[in-house]
Structure 1
Amino acid sequence: MGITKSFIRTLFSKSGAVSILLLPMVLAFQNCGRFETLPEGINTAASNDGSNNGGSTDLPSTTNPTPTPPPEVLEGKVLYTQNCASCHGPVESSAKKSRDATQITLAINSIPQMGAIRLSASQVEAIAAALTVDMNNPPPVVSPANRQEFACTTGVMQKTPLVKLTNREYRGALFALLDGFATTLKTDATLVAQLDGIPTDIATVDRDTLKEQAMLMTAPISNALFNSAFRAGELVSAATTGLQNYPNTSQCLAAATITQACHQLFVRELGSRAFRRPLSTTEANAVAARFWDSTLSKADLLKLTFTSIATMPDFLYKIYDKGTAVAAGSTVLNLTAHELATKMAFFLTGAPADATLKALADNGQILNDAIISQQVDRLLTLAGSRDMIRRLFRESYGYDVFDRLQYDAAFIGNINTTGLGDVMSNELDNYFVEVVLNRSGSFLDVMTSKYTSATDTRLGTIYGLSAATNTLPDERSGFLNRAAMLTKRSGYTTSPIKRGLHVIEHVLCQDIGLPPPSAPSSLPPVVTEDIITTRMRTARATEVAGSSCAQCHGKFNSFGYAFENFDSFGRFRTMETIYNGSQAVKQLAVDTSVTTSEITGSSVSVSNSRQMASELGNSDRAMMCFVKHLKRFEARIPADASANCQMNQSLKTMYGDNVTQGSVVGAIKSLVLSPEFRRWNN
């Protein structure tokens, strides 16, 4: 009988390795000090140091230094690290910024996972003080060009989290290993089913935004990764031609039986590909010794070896700790050539370095600025870059999240809504790929382009199109005026609150926080004695001077009012039909004119959402927000003040020459070209 999954697990146990049937992947190869055996289902974010001191680099000058926090904030940071950081990340980049004491107390009392936390009222107040935005991110400064920039201390960089490959990255990495044997192996139906069965790593991180969870490792995930690796091992063991021609093995794998020397050559080549760096003979022989068993058949030995290597942390995690320190005593390491090539490839294409990058890493040329620049340009032309752009913008602006798409059939003209959410999201996926990648568009272009790839007739009906087109009417300029962004609430009436909240949180990065428990979940019903527009009803319910609602709603309701030219199904209108239940009772003219100081810090007046999108396209605040999204996407944790210097480089690229904006692709490239991208802060 051939080797089985349970047999491999038994061999893992005999060799002293950790059984990934029961535990997350923690077996280290040449990284034993970094990995410990973790309890089942633990989030690996909890194993990171909760502090984030930024570490000094070889550029120790201090520009715009961050002031020392007051004692209560320092106490709050300690309490947060002890009680909150394992779930919500370090305080400097916490997913719960701006939460006040009332909200924290409510969470402790109502969320089961927090039931064991015991804090006094003063301790909760201290944590709330530590979570205020100003305590962790100093306010922007104004550059000589009169543009806002992130306040930064030169030479400081954000700590580098230890993250696993996301599901899409893991798939690409496993396929890359299989391609070394035969490019057809990755199409195996059983393998594809195993990969599709890996529990999703996409979940809600903040309001209405789904993000890949690169720090999450649970028993179900590790089991699914094991099953995928095992199936891949079965395919490799049967790939006769691929084994015979496997590089750097002198065709020894073509023999009926494998000698120990041949096995060592196989491990060295496979390990170098899997760990994304060359392995020395000593390293390869050490890991080969764990799995060498002369009693096993050739197929079983290959199955065991491949499965084992494809479940080691050096394959499953992004580890960049082989370089030298930038200065004596520094925690910051310069990436090696292969580490840099790997980091660039995963960031820009979601897959390991291809042959071109590997060759440039082998000869060290990838460390040259001009070569890096050329390779960024090349990588951004590959198919993987399109998927990177889709995920970046989905995670930045949350257009793939819907409350629901449930409408009265007569209200929407009997349109079938099955799968319509995906159609809406895919329109914006294609929009960002076209505007950002294909056209090298600026941030203003992102906010104002009229391009569309909409071919679904249902979307055409929503947009009022009588024929297929790649250009939408003026009122649809930019992505904010598309169906995916407008259908944030089903029903007869719009929700200026939800639409406005989405803009201020995701386009301007202002964390509004949760409403108080006493806040109503809907507007008062329409009564025949008081038939007014949704805008007026919203203002009366949430913006009364002196009320507990006015302070927050006064910031973001106006963004929602600008979209009142669109009904709840995203269709353009100039008149709002007022409903009493399901009964239409009157039509009233919509008012989309708003004045707000949230876009620039000074009062700005616009007549509609198209003008608002244009103002946002030129807004320092909106561009700074996007750069934060970009850095979070690259690092897999929210950006804190220690990332400000690196983010400034992307921001300045987007600003351009103060007359013509730079491209978004240029901002992505600037991030890669920054000194911080080429380093690991331990």
Structure 2
Amino acid sequence: MRITNIIPKIFSVRGALCILMIPLILFFQNCGGVSPSLLTSRTPDSEPTSEQILDGKALYTQNCASCHGPVEASAKRTRSATQITLAINNQMEMRAIRLTQAEIELIAQVLNPTVNNPPPVTNEENRQEFACTPGQMQKTPLVKLTNREFKNALFLLLDGFSTSLKNDATLLSAIDALPSDVATENRDTLKEQSLLITAPISNALFNVAYRAGELVSGATTGLQNYPNTSQCLSAATVTQACHQSFVRELGSRAFRRQLSTTEGNAVAARIWDSTLSKTDLLKSTVAAIAIMPDFIYKIYDKGTPIASGSTVLSLTAHELATKMAFFLTGAPADATLKALADSGQILNDTVISEQVDRLLTLPGAKDMIRRFFRESYGYDVYDRLQYDSAFIGGINTTGLADVMNAELDNYFVEVVLNQSGSFLDVMTSRYTNATDARLGTIYGLSSATNTLPMERSGFLNRASMLTKRSGFTASPIKRGLHVIEHVLCQDIGLPPPSAPTSLPVVTEEVITTRLRTAKTTEVAGTSCAQCHGRFNQLGYALENFDSFGRYRTVETVYKDSTAVGQIAVDSSYNTSEINGKSALSGTGPRQFVEHLGNSDRAMMCFVKHLKRFEARVPADATANCQMNQSLKTMYGNNATQGSIVGAIKSLVLSPEFRRWNN
């Protein structure tokens, strides 16, 4: 149901407007409450039957999907029945759910990634790819603009009146007060959330919109010259006809598509109030439009079905322009894209390709690349950054995390956008533009350079990736877990309830971190060994770096903050996780990142990240055909990999990108 059909009469009184709009937004999102399941309880077996899977999916859809996305791409994959029960009992938003234990177990079963995602297949070129069923397209739940997208869209709207309005201190303060839409839950990377809107979020959005209305109502020159209003807003009072013209133009800009006279007048009629002063009417009009779902949500439902009876719609020209712009620049379509949408030329493949190239040269594309890689690989997520001063040579760590993050932000922009680099380049480049002397100390550099030593190849061997645990000893567990989950996309999940709360005591005093880790987590037959046996080896490959990210060939062993000895570092690894097939062996960080840079599994993982970033929900099996197009571009000709930019373009040029399946 669209806002033009359900918006109530808008009043100028701020409190009344807020009270009316918050329930409206929550209702539109359909995330304010859940219905108890009406299905029959069924006790699941260790291996769920097809009937149990169907029951579990139905239970999830009825109770969970409105907030966490479809089950195939749920934000809560790998959650166990115990974890779901704890969430229901402890999360305020979930206390209305009424499920039996058997029903919770059914939901947990269908959240197991293996239920919904078939294993990869080998193509005719002996490369792994996603198992693809032609004709399938992933359903995308309705998502709101992220905080940054909302800000960019609002600023563009305000620029139509005066480019100075977006600099208003009160407005900027209200935007800064928006509840964070970034999550770091359960080892997840920083990810902007766009599935859920709560009362605090909607209230904060209203405060921003109301201030925007105040600013516009006072922008005399901008109102007088506002397009397609025949300067009627310069009069002392606003007639209903003038108000209709204003709403049609403002709504077309806000909703990112041209409003017809009929639709524009329908929106205006629900806002119009002849008893209001000009200032209050304009204030209420702008505030109301700025919190309508058509503005704060990504909605692409104006196209036509791709076939008779199909629920999949082709995007209109303006919808395609909007989708491209938000994906590639984090903002609505600019003037060039809008003109191409007006003429319909944007629907041409050649024009789309040209516009992808152009958009990727804009400043917004640099921000997109930074955010995409932060989300994908989580280099800006720290456990903490606190060290003994003597251990780190007295380096001041104030602001150091930001310096480390900025190094990789610039790294990805340079390698991906400026150099049109491949995945192998991303994994092995030695480029840096870090100028902070503290990074130079960590990297052992005596002078400024743009090329780091061989052991610093790629982003995994940089300080922000290596400082995931402070203290005297590095953590191959944390490092390996991060690689297997975020570089290889293998779901490890949280420790099982049977996992010990403390590790076995190792009596040796002078022992490497690697050997201590193996003795405490890889003992055959224990509940730890099954998972740690998969990812510890990936962490061992990085043992040439201490917990502060400094290169070493020997490890200094500490006891109670006192060095008690030194022992040679062993950074060899032997694992089948890198390619998902036969075991790969190597030694040291450089060989490790080369193996990852040529790994089919790692490239498939990258494409999953790319699809998630575009759709704002994790990719499921129904997105496999679309992802294979980007994957094929990345693979190149088997001798030379294709570029990351090429993979992004392949995603946009895919038939699925130009469709809406909700």
Q: TM over 0.5: same fold? A: yes
Shift of 1:500: 0.2
Cα gap change, 1:334/1:69 in structure 2, threshold over 3 Å: closer, same or farther? farther
Shift of 1:263: 1.6
CA RMSD of aligned residues (A): 2.6
Counterpart of 1:548 in structure 2 is: 527
Shift of 1:313: 0.8
**1:591-606 counterparts in 2 under 5 A?**
591-600=570-579, 601-606=581-586
Q: Does 1:630 align with 2:610?
A: yes
Cα gap change, 1:523/1:608 in structure 2, threshold over 3 Å: closer, same or farther? farther
Kindly provide the CA deviation profile for residues 642-682 of structure 1, in whole angstroms up to 9, marking residues without a partner as x. Answer: 11011111111111111110111111111111000111112
SS in structure 2 of the partner of residue 510 of structure 1: coil
Name which of structure 1's ranges 238-247 and 81-90 shifts more when overlaid on structure 2. Answer: 81-90
Q: Does 1:313 align with 2:293?
A: yes
- Mapped to 1, the partners of 2:64 and 2:140 lie a distance apart of 20
Name which of structure 1's ranges 161-170 and 205-214 shifts more when overlaid on structure 2. Answer: 205-214
Whether the 8 Å CA contact 1:575–1:587 is kept in 2: the answer is yes
SS in structure 2 of the partner of residue 625 of structure 1: helix
Counterpart of 1:325 in structure 2 is: 305
SS in structure 1 of the partner of residue 645 of structure 2: helix
- Mapped to 2, the partners of 1:216 and 1:24 lie a distance apart of 13
List runs of 5+ in structure 2 lacking aligned partners. Answer: 1-6, 38-47
Shift of 1:536: 0.3
Counterpart of 2:43 in structure 1 is: none
Shift of 1:13: 6.0
Counterpart of 1:229 in structure 2 is: 209
Counterpart of 2:446 in structure 1 is: 466
State the AA in 1 paired with 2:558. Y
Q: Does 1:582 align with 2:561?
A: yes
Q: Does 1:569 align with 2:567?
A: no
Counterpart of 2:390 in structure 1 is: 410
Counterpart of 2:380 in structure 1 is: 400
Cα gap change, 1:624/1:543 in structure 2, threshold over 3 Å: closer, same or farther? same
State the AA in 2 paired with 1:159. K
State the AA in 2 paired with 1:80. Y
Counterpart of 1:373 in structure 2 is: 353
Cα gap change, 1:576/1:13 in structure 2, threshold over 3 Å: closer, same or farther? same
Counterpart of 2:10 in structure 1 is: 12
Counterpart of 1:615 in structure 2 is: 595
Kindly provide the CA deviation profile for residues 277-301 of structure 1, in whole angstroms up to 9, marking residues without a partner as x. Answer: 0011111112112222334332222
Identity of aligned residues (%): 74
Cα gap change, 1:191/1:116 in structure 2, threshold over 3 Å: closer, same or farther? closer
Whether the 8 Å CA contact 1:268–1:280 is kept in 2: the answer is yes
Q: Does 1:264 align with 2:262?
A: no
Shift of 1:454: 1.1
Q: What TM-score, normalized by structure 2, do the two folds share?
A: 0.92
SS in structure 1 of the partner of residue 195 of structure 2: coil
Kindly provide the CA deviation profile for residues 604-655 of structure 1, in whole angstroms up to 9, marking residues without a partner as x. Answer: 1111122111111111000000111111111111111111011111111111
Counterpart of 2:513 in structure 1 is: 534
Q: Does 1:509 align with 2:489?
A: yes
Kindly provide the CA deviation profile for residues 358-380 of structure 1, in whole angstroms up to 9, marking residues without a partner as x. Answer: 11111111111111111111111
- Mapped to 1, the partners of 2:455 and 2:447 lie a distance apart of 17
State the AA in 2 paired with 1:471. T
Across the two proteins, how many residue pairs are aligned to each other? 643
State the AA in 1 paired with 2:363. A
Kindly provide the CA deviation profile for residues 493-528 of structure 1, in whole angstroms up to 9, marking residues without a partner as x. Answer: 11100000000000000010111345356655675x
Whether the 8 Å CA contact 1:452–1:469 is kept in 2: the answer is yes
SS in structure 2 of the partner of residue 606 of structure 1: strand
State the AA in 1 paired with 2:578. I
Shift of 1:467: 1.8
SS in structure 2 of the partner of residue 584 of structure 1: strand
Cα gap change, 1:466/1:278 in structure 2, threshold over 3 Å: closer, same or farther? same
Whether the 8 Å CA contact 1:21–1:219 is kept in 2: the answer is no
**1:70-469 counterparts in 2 under 5 A?**
70-99=50-79, 123=103, 125-469=105-449
SS in structure 2 of the partner of residue 390 of structure 1: helix
State the AA in 2 paired with 1:437. L
List runs of 5+ in structure 1 lacking aligned partners. Answer: 1-8, 28-34, 50-67
Kindly provide the CA deviation profile for residues 244-288 of structure 1, in whole angstroms up to 9, marking residues without a partner as x. Answer: 221111222222332222221111111100010001111111211
Whether the 8 Å CA contact 1:24–1:217 is kept in 2: the answer is no
- Mapped to 2, the partners of 1:438 and 1:221 lie a distance apart of 37
Q: What TM-score, normalized by structure 1, do the two folds share?
A: 0.89
Whether the 8 Å CA contact 1:159–1:681 is kept in 2: the answer is yes
State the AA in 1 paired with 2:263. E
